[in-house]
Amino acid sequence: MASEKSLVAVTCTAPINIAVIKYWGKRDEELILPINSSLSVTLHQDQLKTTTTAVISKDFSEDQIWLNGRKEDVGQPRIQACLREIRRLARKRRSADEKDPPPVSLSYKVHVASVNNFPTAAGLASSAAGYACLAYALAQVYGVEHDLSEVARRGSGSACRSLYGGFVEWQMGEQADGKDSIARQVASELHWPELRALILVVSAEKKPTSSTVGMQTSVETSALLRFRAEAVVPARMAEMTRYIKERDFQGFGQLTMKDSNQFHATCLDTFPPISYLNDVSRRIIHLVHCFNTHHGQTKVAYTFDAGPNAVIFTLDDTVAEFVAAVRHSFPPESNGDKFLKGLPVRPALLSDELKAALDMEPTPGGIRYIIATQVGPGPQILDDPLAHLLGPDGLPKPAA
């Protein structure tokens, strides 16, 4: 029985997700319950992931956590909420099989180490991947088989969407206790194989207004946000689900852009106003619209979360030409060869007509690099013991 071992170690990876119908605003700060439902695309872990090792042992005297090699305060309220929730579910599961006495391991302390293979607070949804991975790893070591939406959500709202691959909706739920505020898969990662995502990294700096503080102020001051949550989002959720099921890129792309724009409009409607986009973000928006107008259809779509980086959705047959358009409009500074990361993209030439249509002064160095990726699966367990970030003593392994 794993539960009676003196040490149990598990390592998992979890993906980031990018919302195409945005979550902004909580109706309950403590339980992290949203004022509207949201829908996201899970990106592939070959390019972007969090890796987390959780180890429980009878020999540990306290819970401890390391993020990207630095020891962090395990007393942070959100980390505590996840730990409390997983231990509660583990006890509940044991008392359901009341024939067996609860295993001693339920009282074991846990050591957790987590690393991201991308900049942490740069607006690349690191908290979503991080808390989904934490919830998943803790569930494995404590033997919890329950839906983990609630555990992940208590860490970071959008984290519940990273528990699944493909296309995922977070249902806002009605109940005050949040039991029905859960994530569920709308379509698997295999559903739309041609879909690609390009992350245009404008800045890897920490954002000026954290999402937590930003959305709280928006809920308190923005009438537009209330209107959005009540009158706009419910129909958009149904519409977006239909576009995904039908693999209708025109519909999907247009609604993705409109919803991103409306989210940023509610930020400007917040008082004092919040602006997450910068000049380069606005130039990317202009570039996308010029590109689509030139082609006479929606071939690429942007979405921005609470930060200046753009995520561009497109189909595989358009990636090469759009990357060439980005290079033309935002000539890479010196890192020409490191400008494109992730999936390989073949070089393409721009037609003179398209160059003329792009109608903008180039902004050298405006985009630091591009990550090319695709839709991917949910959290994975790594079976290789060499993958553990913590050694048998429960301390971080020295970096190789």
Look up the CATH number of the domain holding residue 215: 3.30.70.890
Contact 222, 274 (CB under 8 A): no
Tokens of 355: 């160059």
What is the model's pLDDT at position 3? 44
What is the model's pLDDT at position 211? 87
What is the model's pLDDT at position 126? 85
Query: Among 184, 67, 189, which Cα is nearest to 131's?
Result: 67
What is the model's pLDDT at position 337? 76
Could you give the C-alpha distances from 192 to 76, 243, 252, 392, in angstroms and in order? 39, 11, 12, 42
What is the model's pLDDT at position 101? 66
- How many structural domains is the chain composed of? 2
312 located within any domain: yes
3-state secondary structure of 370: strand
First-to-last C-alpha distance (Å) of the chain:
33
Same domain, 23 and 52: yes
Same domain, 354 and 255: yes
pLDDT (tens place) for every residue of the chain, 400 residues total: 344 578 899 999 999 999 999 999 999 999 999 999 999 999 999 999 999 999 999 999 999 999 999 999 999 999 999 999 999 999 988 777 666 666 778 889 999 999 998 866 556 778 899 999 999 999 999 999 999 999 999 999 999 999 999 999 999 999 999 999 999 999 999 999 999 999 999 976 666 778 889 999 999 999 999 999 999 999 999 999 999 999 999 999 999 999 999 999 999 999 999 999 999 999 999 999 999 999 999 999 999 999 999 999 999 999 999 999 999 999 998 766 789 999 999 999 999 999 999 988 999 999 999 999 999 999 999 999 899 999 989 999 986 5
What is the CB neighbour count within 10 angstroms for residue 339? Answer: 18
Q: Residue 346: how many CA atoms within 13 Å on its side-chain side? A: 5
Same domain, 317 and 366: yes
Same domain, 107 and 40: yes
What is the model's pLDDT at position 2? 44
CA distance 302 to 170: 21
What is the model's pLDDT at position 121? 52
What is the model's pLDDT at position 4? 53
1 located within any domain: no
Strand 183-187 and strand 70-72: the pairing is unpaired
* Greatest CA separation for the chain: 76
Same domain, 201 and 129: no
**What residues make up the domain containing 315?**
195-374
Same domain, 11 and 58: yes
395 located within any domain: no
211 located within any domain: yes
Cα-to-chain-centroid distance, residue 269? 25
What is the model's pLDDT at position 1? 38
Contact 8, 162 (CB under 8 A): no
Residue with tokens 């999907």: 252
Same domain, 204 and 257: yes
